[in-house]
Structure 1
């Protein structure tokens, strides 16, 4: 297998879009606003994000003032409900931006199927805080919810969802950037993209998600990517995120057992599937046939059930030939794996740090499963006590080298691997209080490979800083 050095064209597109936006409209939203106003200044702000979505045009910017943004109880239970549902699209030269106003801290409190649901293209979601209902939910009630015929979004709310299943085969969402957000405490998945393309998830904090949903969610998930073009560069980018304490406590209803709760999951880009052997990501349970018809409508909004809503012509998913990048992420203390791919192809997993994952479902730290053409290099992989570094199930073309792991393993071996304690500065279960940089003397310093180089580390520092590139998410 030949390693390919792939630049991303997304930054050029975003820069062009931002310059075009200088001639577009700024819309303002505030919790004390009024939808009868014009929304063009902070003093005349709209009250709801959904009203802003009804007027926004390509190139526009929507600025959110500080305060709390609740969802609407009257519509939360509807199929496909969201605090903000984005169906309009920007253009390649005029992206639409949704972000916090300068020095503002807007906090969204969704209780619908999703917090922000993106069904359009050319959007940037930036600098927002989304907080789910986990603190309110009792586990005993969440365990009873899957037994009911009518599914309740209260136990399944996703944070940010790029949702392509509701669109026809020729109108899937694409070119979406989700960056610098905090997404936490959602009973469903944190940040999820389904049947989408050209999606970048970067520099977010994603934690305490997927606890109560019945659909096997994770912190950051890409499911059944839908390739819309053959443009060069990475089509999927997961970069510079801190992801922790995402876990499942309710069995995935399709298999009747706990599953997923991963930090980062790239899930199903191949064309296989159906009822003939598709499994959950750890290959320890076979996915059963579709659920009864009475449950299909609401299940279609959940993270891990790929059935389209009624009336949508699904079409045949194109063969996935594009490449994905998972780089400079810190993934720790999740109930599933830190990072893994399931039935996925053409992925570079480079310069990540994973630590003590798999505590609920006993998944390995960082591993491909039934995947092809996956490069795993320059990562620091520290399994929890009793955990394992990686595993290999029906993979092909795995390129593994220059990784540091603290426990010996014989699954994949690289000539430049190191088995050593990476010597982190400070480990803490809340990654906002931790410091996973490397102490002097670490085997991961100045020892990285240069085949898939990253220009920056998780903190935005240029690579390399010393005699060579460091392994893991941080460059010293």
Structure 2
């Protein structure tokens, strides 16, 4: 009987140790609270993050979360603890709430761990309080001021050990705007999904040439087939760079969506391909560990990308990408990139997209690409770079296009040649992608409505 009691006690203790906890954060909370109920909510996001374990959920109620609620000098929320494959750590807005993170240092949310969900959070930077002349003046200082380089949400793997890079991250239904640095940025990560987000007016004042949504130097978690990077159903607009990139002294990037460098060459990147970048590593500098070859695939689908400073969608030194059913409109506002631009890439499918360049702009270009499949796209001016089938040269006839997709209407007129003329031939890599797209057999070209 005693042995049975001890066994039951051990089982109970094991259950308690593995039980999933829900934590609460509120603009009316207090960090001296327990954080375990709505009435005893924490005030700062980091107080909850420091206690989370695999499987835990953090519910974020209405409130302003800025540097006054942060207990570190880097980001308002830094996620170091990882979940597990069957127990993600989740930070999400309370149902019906619109909590707002206002970063003024290096970041709003920095993700260093793995198996993490971010849902329904709003990150708004300080662009409105910055002048361009001050941002340019700061580039003369050797040490950058974080104020001019604040990122919205960043998956940051550069300082992690080679076997500890962040992976299996899902960012959904978030709003990221007005950050002087990048909007949503993934550095040396893998298995990242970015879906149903609004990303706008970012990267204006940084010295590092950012974009709205960026993945850079994907670090392979494994070699499994299928989509490792999924970017779907996002609205991305008015992201641009106004400060020259420190590596070249020229304006660069400011794209809506950028997949940047999955090859294994070391050295600085230059998506503009118009300036020489010094890639010689000084002997006094240790070489970084060589990135494992990234054999995964990326899906960019049903996104709307408009009025950005660089391309609407841009891939540079990247392989294995499916760019399907997106709409890009009047991009290249600052650096003049082409609307939908694969550059030094391999194995890229570009299909069922609506591509409308600004007056005087170009649809696409071809710079040292291999295996580009270009089919069933519609655009109002000709492109002579890629051969393909069933492309349409016509105005897609949007209802009311404009710089802000939340106020303007990019639906198609019933008379649009893009209606019912797309292809369902394309086979997505796995069932997960089909579930994310939420529908099958769409015959229209352009983004998901």
Question: One fold, TM greater than 0.5?
Answer: yes
Q: Describe the SS at the equivalent of 2:364.
A: coil
Aligned-partner Cα distance in 1 for 2:56–2:71: 27
Structure 2 counterpart of 1:431, from 405, 408, 432: 405
Cα root mean square deviation, aligned: 2.3
Q: Describe the SS at the equivalent of 2:128.
A: helix
Contact 2:232-2:437 within 8 A present in 1 as well:
no
- Structure 2 equivalent of residue 184 of structure 1: 177
Q: Deviations over 1:326-368 (max 9, x none)?
A: 0000000000000010000000000000000001000000010
Aligned-partner Cα distance in 2 for 1:459–1:429: 27
- How far is 1:203 from its partner? 0.4
Q: Describe the SS at the equivalent of 1:235.
A: strand
Aligned-partner Cα distance in 2 for 1:458–1:223: 26
Q: For the structure 1 residues 216 and 82, does the alpha-carbon distance in structure 2 shift closer, same or farther, using more than 3 Å as the test?
A: same
Aligned-partner Cα distance in 2 for 1:325–1:416: 22
Aligned-partner Cα distance in 2 for 1:111–1:259: 23
Q: How does 1:50-449 map to 2 (within 5 A)?
A: 50-72=46-68, 78=73, 81-274=74-267, 279-288=269-278, 314-449=288-423
Aligned-partner Cα distance in 1 for 2:47–2:70: 16
Q: For the structure 1 residues 459 and 271, does the alpha-carbon distance in structure 2 shift closer, same or farther, using more than 3 Å as the test?
A: closer
Structure 2 counterpart of 1:25, from 21, 25, 44: 21
- Structure 2 equivalent of residue 8 of structure 1: none
Q: Describe the SS at the equivalent of 1:51.
A: helix
Aligned-partner Cα distance in 2 for 1:460–1:450: 13
Structure 1 runs (4+) deviating above 4 angstroms are 72-76, 289-292, 453-461
Q: Deviations over 1:109-145 (max 9, x none)?
A: 0111111000000000010110001000011100001
- How far is 1:86 from its partner? 0.5
Contact 2:44-2:69 within 8 A present in 1 as well:
no
Q: For the structure 1 residues 268 and 234, does the alpha-carbon distance in structure 2 shift closer, same or farther, using more than 3 Å as the test?
A: same
Aligned residues, how many?
Answer: 427
Q: For the structure 1 residues 457 and 407, does the alpha-carbon distance in structure 2 shift closer, same or farther, using more than 3 Å as the test?
A: farther
Aligned-partner Cα distance in 2 for 1:474–1:407: 23
Q: When the two structures are superposed, what TM-score results if normalisation uses the length of structure 2?
A: 0.91
Q: For the structure 1 residues 138 and 457, does the alpha-carbon distance in structure 2 shift closer, same or farther, using more than 3 Å as the test?
A: farther
Higher normalized contact order (CA 8 Å, seq sep 6+, divided by chain length) = 1
Q: Describe the SS at the equivalent of 1:147.
A: coil
Q: Describe the SS at the equivalent of 1:50.
A: helix
Aligned-partner Cα distance in 1 for 2:75–2:142: 21
Aligned-partner Cα distance in 2 for 1:432–1:212: 24
Aligned-partner Cα distance in 1 for 2:19–2:408: 42
Where in structure 1 are there 5+ consecutive unaligned residues?
1-21, 293-306
Q: Describe the SS at the equivalent of 1:178.
A: strand
Q: Describe the SS at the equivalent of 2:138.
A: helix
Contact 2:319-2:346 within 8 A present in 1 as well:
yes
Which range moves more in the overlay, 213-222 or 141-150?
141-150
Aligned-partner Cα distance in 2 for 1:459–1:122: 18
Q: Deviations over 1:358-417 (max 9, x none)?
A: 010000000100000000000000000000000000001111111001111111131210
Aligned-partner Cα distance in 2 for 1:279–1:67: 39
Aligned-partner Cα distance in 2 for 1:244–1:74: 29
- How far is 1:233 from its partner? 2.0
Where in structure 2 are there 5+ consecutive unaligned residues?
1-17
Aligned-partner Cα distance in 2 for 1:240–1:348: 14
- Structure 2 equivalent of residue 302 of structure 1: none
Larger radius of gyration: 2
Structure 2 counterpart of 1:44, from 29, 40, 47: 40
- How far is 1:23 from its partner? 5.5
Aligned-partner Cα distance in 2 for 1:363–1:388: 8
